[in-house]
Amino acid sequence: MVTLRDRLEWLLRMSLLVFILAAAAFLSAVTAIRFAIRGREVEMPSVVGKSASEAKKDFASKQLDMKIVDRVFSEMPVNEVIRQSPPPGEELKTGQEVHVVLSLGPQTISVPSVMGQSLHAAQIQLLQAGLQLGVVSTCYLPGLNADTVVAQDPPGGDRAAAPRVDLLISQGERPAAYVMPALVGLNEVDVGRILDSAGLHVAQINYAPAAQAARGAVVQQTPAAGTRIETDTAVSIVVAE
């Protein structure tokens, strides 16, 4: 006759067996996942000094995607890889994108000086010289006309490392700036007078019901009071009906 104690011992043994089997299955799954992940990792090949087509084949053989991120002048032949990222030997996952910089060959073009020209004229001259317009920055410079080249990199006469020339363009005198006055609570007529005295104007007036405000009083303004504004800033107000 099977006693209660025998049944409990049998249940305990079965529970322990199920636990052991489950733990073994879990460890086996973790190990398989780790092997699968490591199986998708490849070593970054060295492609510096190879042509773009050769480098692409090398990457394709390891299931890596090649992206050309830049082209610069160098002593290496045209379309040879001069830089790569990540570096050779690094472990990558298959399908990952790798970046290369290709050579344009030796620089034989002297960078023209475009100082004092307009941005449009400078761009045309650079294109005629076989160069491209690079980063264009602007700044306010008193005493200089707007849309005038005031600096370039590389300077005129140099040989560029890349086929791009960065320019700094003057925006002329900085426009006069004001602090936006508080208009809420004033009537429409007073608002017009205050803005006129500051060289500003109301670009838009909207009318809306406002139970807590007197008729004709400003209940909302844009920009907000205290905001830094310039003479061409569009001011809008909402007036109580």
Better-scored residue on pLDDT, 41 or 18: 41
Query: Which H or E element spans position 204?
Result: strand 202-208
Mean pLDDT within 7-11? 70
Q: Which residues contact 134 (CB under 8 A, 6 or more apart)?
A: 153, 162, 164, 165, 166, 167
Mean pLDDT within 203-213? 86
For residue 204, the cross-strand partners are 236
Question: What's the mean per-residue pLDDT of the chain?
Answer: 86
Query: What's the DSSP call for residue 176?
Result: P
pLDDT tens digits, 216-238:
899 999 999 888 888 778 899 99
Fold assignment, 119-170: Trypsin Inhibitor V; Chain A (3.30.10)
Mean pLDDT within 149-155? 93
Q: What Cα–Cα distance (Å) separates residue 12 from each residue in 16, 23, 111?
A: 6, 16, 86
- The pLDDT confidence band at residue 149, using thresholds 50, 70 and 90, is very high
Contact 204, 238 (CB under 8 A): no
Q: CA 146 to CA 116: how far, in whole Å?
A: 10
Contact 98, 92 (CB under 8 A): yes
Contact 203, 232 (CB under 8 A): no
3-state helix, strand, coil in the chain (%, to 5): 25, 30, 40
Q: CA 69 to CA 210: how far, in whole Å?
A: 58
From the candidate CATH numbers 3.40.47.10, 3.40.50.720, 3.30.450.40, 3.30.10.20, the one assigned to the domain spanning 177-240? 3.30.10.20
Query: Which H or E element spans position 29?
Result: helix 4-39
Tokens of 168: 């700094």
Contact 191, 225 (CB under 8 A): no
pLDDT tens digits, 53-96:
999 999 999 999 999 998 888 888 999 999 999 999 999 889 89
pTM (global) more than 0.85: no
Query: What's the DSSP call for residue 224?
Result: P
pLDDT tens digits, 166-195:
999 999 988 778 888 889 989 888 888 888
Mean pLDDT within 104-118? 88
* pLDDT attached to residue 2: 54
* pLDDT attached to residue 65: 92
The CATH number of the structural domain formed by 42-103 is: 3.30.10.20
